[in-house]
Amino acid sequence: MAYREPKYTMQEIGIGIIGAGFSADLHASSLHRIRGRLRNVSVKVVGVASRNKDRAQAFAKKNNIPFAYTDYHSLLERHEISVIDICVPNHLHKSLAIEAAQAGKHVICEKPLTGYFGENFEGPEEFVSSSVSKLEMLKKASKNVQEMVNAARSNNVKLMYAENWIYAPAIEKAKRLIKASGGTLFEIRAEESHSGSHSKYSKQWKYSGGGSLMRLGAHPIGAAIHLKNCEGLIRDGEPIGVKSVIATTGNLTKISSFVKEPKKWVVSDWEDVEDWGTAILTFTDGSKATVITSDCVLGGVRNKLEICLSNAYISCNMSPNTCCEVFAPDERVFQDEYITEKTETKAGWSFPSPDEDWVRGYPQEMEDFIESVVLNRDPISDADLARQVVEVIYASYLSAEERSEVELANVLSGKV
């Protein structure tokens, strides 16, 4: 008897993207690439919304999206859209996520989930970071997270936190190796650095909620927390959380000799946010994680994570990834062919990733989110991870302000 392909009832998941910038482009590309383990599910990006009409239309054309709007409410009103993907500046995350949840839409929200952006601050906007205590910022940021979680829960929708690092193949393999080894995870060393963001929204606290620790640190901090959570669940059935943090921040582009240099190879027009930060996390089992962030590093993006186990050592190099190494005597040799993010030149040695988005975990992240909606399960990167990341970042700012170690349980419970 001849084999007959079984019939499936196709379920379509419609996506609406709010935002038409860098992160939106990454998400759209990754959503289009979903192959899926669910054979009867089709994913379609239905529409995009951006306040700039030309930008919205250009984004829609580039990514083969049927509808482009200047008002995001048009996405919320479309019945075939069940998921809203928020790819806008940090200060808009909370309000849009809550509104989307209230419209009955599942929410994907770019990192960091939320923060403190000068709410109820009555002074000059340019003094937000220096006039508001970091303790107040921590409390408000934590409250903002909870309000987003409550909105999703009360409307029976999912709040999915777009932290791609924990989906990166290197880190997924590291998790399996940690489990197989049975060893104790002593220490994590992680870094995200590059030559700085050119987005105007990254330069002021009222839009970004912080500088390098906020924008860049969310990735390595999230990965470190996730790995320790997983280790605890594997060994004892309970996640290992962060106990305390000690941190320092800086503004390296304000060094007088650099200010006098005529040519600036790194972004230098930061206003009231840091361009460098380092945090040391102590977990409840006594293990450590050191996170380095900088907007003052040339040579492309550095996405690195090292794991020191009692019986093994693991190094995860998301970028630069050396599976492909090339040399060119002149930057014109490779013409318009993409090399990698934020490299200053195509001349000399460089490390083009054959599939940069896959190496960084973006398609895998989106696939997990779609599966969590279809199968009604929690995503791997969930609101609890987002909460921990926000609290650790703002505890780091508090530590840098007070020049002392901060115990998270104490500050979050109001004992400080």
User: Could you tell me which of 207, 193, 138, 168 has the C-alpha nearest to residue 388?
Assistant: 138
Q: Same domain for 222 and 152?
A: no
Domain count for the chain? 2
Helix 22-32 and helix 53-62, axial crossing angle in degrees, nearest 10: 30
Which pLDDT score, from 0 to 100, does residue 343 have? 84
Task: Say which CATH number the domain at 90 has.
Answer: 3.40.50.720
pLDDT tens digits, 61-120: 999 999 999 999 999 999 999 999 999 999 999 999 999 999 999 999 999 999 999 987
Query: Binning pLDDT at 50, 70 and 90, where does residue 1 land?
Result: very low
Three-state secondary structure along 34-101? Answer: CCCCCCCEEEEEEEEECCCHHHHHHHHHHCCCCEEECCCHHHHCCCCEEEEEECCCHHHHHHHHHHHH
Which pLDDT score, from 0 to 100, does residue 9 have? 59
Which pLDDT score, from 0 to 100, does residue 39 have? 75
- Examine the pLDDT at 187 and tell me if it is beyond 80: yes
Tokens linked to 27? 């998400």
Q: Same domain for 102 and 246?
A: no
Q: Same domain for 93 and 203?
A: no
Q: Same domain for 269 and 343?
A: yes
Which pLDDT score, from 0 to 100, does residue 121 have? 78
Among residues 162, 189, 208, the one where a domain terminates is 162
Q: Same domain for 168 and 287?
A: yes
Task: Say which CATH number the domain at 395 has.
Answer: 3.30.360.10
Task: Domain of residue 400: give its range.
Answer: 164-413
Q: Same domain for 285 and 394?
A: yes
Q: Same domain for 100 and 156?
A: yes
Which pLDDT score, from 0 to 100, does residue 415 have? 64
Q: Pairing between strand 67-69 and 302-309? A: unpaired
pLDDT tens digits, 265-318: 999 999 999 999 999 999 999 999 999 999 999 999 999 999 999 999 999 999
Which pLDDT score, from 0 to 100, does residue 413 have? 85
Among residues 95, 129, 162, the one where a domain terminates is 162
Among residues 115, 136, 162, the one where a domain terminates is 162
- Whose tokens are 């969930």? That residue is 382
CA atoms within 13 A on the CB side of 279: 34
Q: Pairing between strand 313-319 and 326-328? A: unpaired
Q: Same domain for 60 and 155?
A: yes
Mean of per-residue pLDDT scores for the chain: 94
Q: Is residue 240 part of a domain?
A: yes
pLDDT tens digits, 324-373: 888 989 888 989 888 888 888 888 888 888 888 999 999 999 999 999 99
Q: Same domain for 31 and 77?
A: yes
Q: Is residue 3 part of a domain?
A: no
Q: Is residue 248 part of a domain?
A: yes
Q: Same domain for 154 and 171?
A: no
- Whose tokens are 């309970």? That residue is 238
Q: Same domain for 178 and 301?
A: yes
Distance (Å, rounded) from C-alpha 208 to C-alpha 204? 6
Q: Spell 112-134 as b/e; 16+ CB within 10 A means b.
A: bbbbbbbbebeeeeeebbeebeb
Q: Is residue 2 part of a domain?
A: no
Q: Same domain for 84 and 188?
A: no
